[in-house]
A = this chain, B = another copy of it.
């Protein structure tokens, strides 16, 4: 097992950053974990044992770190990248956990050069509808795919074979996450379907249910587990989603078009046997997902 990181700076100690910090503490006890966030969040992160130390100043937080983990909304990550490139040691690995990868990786390509720290785009395919350090847990990444970004042609480059990247992938495996290498555009296309579309769908369904609910509480008061599961994602806040949607709107528009078409088709088939095939196909996907889980 390669040696782990000496000092990790976690920029943003909410659900994802906080969980990453907790996982580090559990699986890499020799790593000093420094957090950077709002003061009350850092206090909470210290209380939960996620970080050794909270630092209010970004440049101080990353100074001396050999791993910088950016777990902020996409827009904030893009803003922070140049300062992190300047202030982190050149031997550091800088990686992010943003839910879209094209915008972040394009921004990183502008600030990270041969003399800078090495940048590696990443996205843990794990989450919850509740954000914040209170919901963080060391086991969040267990069993999850963890996308790491590699562009075509990069496979033989020094960066791809860099020992820091190997070390980071080994760390993820210690978290029981499974690294999956993808191009940024392939990631964003896939994430639009399996993550961002279900989110918008939950918001749309919630809108219909609310719109139909009358002063007697019908139909909401009849809701059972089916609706609750279908709407669990509706609890996820806009602050988390704004930048994701803005940086993946092309893929999302296409995914929404496909879903609208699928619903129109189901509507036209309601009274026909064609519906049986749609259910059978859905049942097969359900089994695939169940076996993956």
Give the B-binding residues of A (Cβ under 8 A). Answer: 125-129, 144-145, 147, 180, 182, 186, 189-191, 193-195, 197-212, 218-238, 241-242, 245-246, 249, 252-253, 255-260, 262-267, 270-271, 275-276, 278-290, 292-293
Contacts and interface: CB of A to CB of B under 8 A. Distances in A.
Nearest to A228: B289
B230 A233 contact: yes
B201 A205 contact: yes
A212 to B, nearest CB: 5
Contact of A203 (B201, B211, B237, B282): B282
Contact of A238 (B145, B202, B229, B280): B280
5 contacts: A126-B224, A206-B286, A209-B285, A245-B275, A263-B263
A40 B271 CA distance: 32
A275 to B, nearest CB: 7
A92 B229 CA distance: 38
B242 A207 contact: no
Contact of A224 (B125, B282, B287): B125
Contacts of A233: 226, 229-230
Contacts of A230: 198, 201-202, 229-230, 233
